[in-house]
Amino acid sequence: MIYKIQTTKPQQFIEITDKVAEELKNSNVRDGIAVIFVPHTTAGVTINEYADPDVVRDIISVLDKTFPVHGEYRHLEGNSHAHIKASLMGSSCTVIIQDGKLCLGTWQGIYFCEFDGPRKRKFYVKIIAG
């Protein structure tokens, strides 16, 4: 299924674990994999801690220090930093499904990663039995 999302900040992580879990529930799949795919070049997806929101704030902060918005880049659109960050996070994540549940660790959440917002975005969730 395709999900539409409106990001509200230039750079932000939005937790989408609930959407993936809901998609899994609706699928009735007990064992398999969930694939989350982001079809953008300046946004990505990653899995990391959700319990302490400072973790994702720190990730954004360190990425921004390492790849500043106004760095020395050649890409004329002026958003090279966002392309680089998106590639580092990646455009897809896979989570194993066992007994009808996502096999995420206790503190893991799935995050849509915006690096060139705010924008209208989308991501795909595919539940595959196997």
To Zn ion, the closest distance from the beta carbon of 82 in angstroms equals 7
To Zn ion, the closest distance from the beta carbon of 83 in angstroms equals 6
Binding letters toward Zn ion, positions 34-73, x by CB under 5 A: ----------------------------------------
Cis omega before residue 39 (within 30°)? no
Q: Which candidate, 32, 33, 44, places its Cα nearest to that of 5?
A: 44
Note whether 77 binds Zn ion by CB under 5 A: yes
Which lies closer to Zn ion via its Cβ, residue 9 or residue 75? 75
Which lies closer to Zn ion via its Cβ, residue 41 or residue 108? 41
To Zn ion, the closest distance from the beta carbon of 9 in angstroms equals 18
18-52 b/e with 16+ CB inside 10 Å = b? ebbbebbeebebeebbbebbbebebbbbbbbbbee
**Distance (Å, rounded) from C-alpha 75 to C-alpha 120?**
22
Q: Which residues of the chain form contacts with Zn ion (CB under 5 A)?
A: 77, 79
